Amino acid sequence: MPEAAQYILSLDQGTTSSRAIVFGRDGRPVSSGQQEFPQIYPTPGHVEHDPEAIWSSQLATARRALENGKLSARQIVALGITNQRETTILWDKKTGTPVANAIVWQSRITAPVCERLKKEALEETIRQKTGLVLDAYFSATKIAHLLDSITGLRARAERGEILFGTVDAFLMWRLSGGNLHVTDVSNASRTLLFNIHTLDWDDELLRIFNVPRAMLPEVKSCSEIYGHTTKDLLGESIPIAGCAGDQQAATFGQGCFGPGEAKNTYGTGCFMLLNTGSTPAVSKHGLLTTIGWKIGDTTTYCLEGAVFIAGAAVQWLRDGLGLIAKSPEVEQLAASVKSNDGVYFVPAFVGLGAPYWDPNARGAIVGLTRGSTKAHFARAALEAMAYQTRDVLDAMQADAGVALSSLRVDGGATANNLMMQFQSDLLDVRVLRPVVQETTALGAAYLAGLAVDYWTDFRDLTRNWVLDREFAPQMSIAERDDLYSGWKKAVKCAQHWVD
Ligand SMILES: Nc1ncnc2c1ncn2[C@@H]1O[C@H](COP(=O)(O)OP(=O)(O)O)[C@@H](O)[C@H]1O
Ligand SMILES: O=P(O)(O)OC[C@H](O)CO
């Protein structure tokens, strides 16, 4: 009997849905499963997830991916994990039960703590060690918030009874039946507790944020066998061999292996990452320095522009305003008007991330006239993704001192051709959309596959990148400048809104 084909299974735990995708050697998806799970908004600006919903949806999609492809778990040679980053979960070491809902990366609940720490003039130390800005986005203040708001939890954490993990670590713990308390350098680099130079948790940062070391996971590279799944979950024990935060995984999945290569992902938020090679670049323009990945002893760093709300604004048109029934309908609605007619939408629902870092900004729609229609709302929501990307690209080019001639894109919202064309026009760069847009899952699959020699090296992976469509700039300079200056004015209206 011929030997059954072998594959890599990738788990992609995103902000709004869990996905599992099986990939073959050509980097093409063979089968998949996807499941949305509830978003919890306890108070304005605060966002939570139920960790059990994260786990059950992720496990269900992994099983579905195997079923849909009529695959046996024996055909899966390794499993890779990628995840929404920064989102913070604490669980009981003995029972594996989460002690509270996860605090999601978007949550602003710890913004006041960050304000207080800023007054203590700690920002520069934090920035120098972590590459990050002092913002509620990252995990450290979320951990302390949980430890201080649940009676007795801090003492238990100090005794090593309570564990912390970003979503990758929680999944690894569950997948291994509680054998692994492990994260990878790319996820660790988003916590504000990890020193990106020494590649270790940092005692001074642990003191600043008041987080006990005993609760932190062991930090490993992005491509190695960490352990195995328990047999009961998928039918076989599968090596867990790759792990990276979703934006780093997407950068890897896009084949941005060399310095100067960049990608932008358009999902719930927008995240542009530029590979800066083996030395961390320092931004002077509001970008983050982050670890891209570590393979063997080689660490690759990236500059990152993190935009909090992108596709989520389209979800808001759908769920909050009821203007559309499904996200893709936004394209037709937006195309029904020729321009924004002066209407701008700044979707600062949870403040503004890069390059503004204004936790007190809030959403604004400006430039409305009696002639404005829902089509203008749709157009303005799409254009907002492109404007925010322009803000970030301008910062990145200023930091890197080079102009990008093309940008690789991925994520759910890149299906929108109108937005992609507008993006190219506004940036004046070629926008390249690959055939496989599930680059996040693909990146995690690549990291796992490299660890078990399913793929040999980067050359194997580079060959797999195939262009679906290129969008070339067509707009005049005058129109581009005019549109963008309107956006800058609109951003000013949204900034510093909350007292
Ligand atoms: N055709 C479309 N045009 C614009 N936005 C879209 C379109 N299709 C999906 N989206 C948006 O893309 C996002 C989903 O992309 P995805 O990459 O799955 O996100 P995430 O990984 O953050 O959950 C949603 O916010 C959705 O509103
Ligand atoms: O789940 P996504 O794709 O919106 O990504 C979330 C980011 O990792 C947050 O930093």
Both structure tokens of 391? 């803000």
CA distances 310 to 107, 138, 270, Å, are 16, 19, 6
273, 248 contact by CB (below 8 A): yes
Q: What is the value of pTM for the model shown? A: 0.93
Ligand 1 center to 315 CA (angstroms): 8
Q: Residue 283 pLDDT > 70, yes or no?
A: yes
Q: Residue 2 pLDDT > 80, yes or no?
A: no
Ligand 2 center to 11 CA (angstroms): 14
376, 401 contact by CB (below 8 A): no
pLDDT at 219 (0 to 100)? 98
pLDDT at 402 (0 to 100)? 77
Percent of the chain with pLDDT over 90: 91
pLDDT at 3 (0 to 100)? 67
Ligand 1 center to 269 CA (angstroms): 9
347 lines ligand 1 (CB under 6 A): no
* Rg, the chain, Cα only: 22
Backbone phi, psi, residue 306, to 5°: -105, 120
CA distance 388 to 359: 16
Of all protein residues, the one whose alpha carbon is nearest to atom 26 of ligand 1 is 311
pLDDT tens for each residue of 62-85: 999 999 999 999 999 999 999 999
246, 14 contact by CB (below 8 A): yes
pLDDT tens for each residue of 438-482: 999 999 999 999 999 999 999 999 999 999 999 999 999 999 999
Q: What is the ipTM metric for this complex?
A: 0.97
CATH superfamily of 7-246: ATPase, nucleotide binding domain (3.30.420.40)
pLDDT tens for each residue of 137-187: 999 999 999 999 999 999 999 999 999 999 999 999 999 999 999 999 999
Q: Mean of the per-residue pLDDT values for the chain?
A: 95
In this prediction, residues 243-249 reach a mean pLDDT of 98
**Nearest ligand (C-alpha, residue 85):** 2
Q: Whose CA is closest to 494, among 314, 311, 340, 308?
A: 308
Determine the atom of ligand 2 nearest the C-alpha atom of 312: 4
pLDDT at 133 (0 to 100)? 93
pLDDT tens for each residue of 310-339: 999 999 999 999 999 999 999 999 999 999
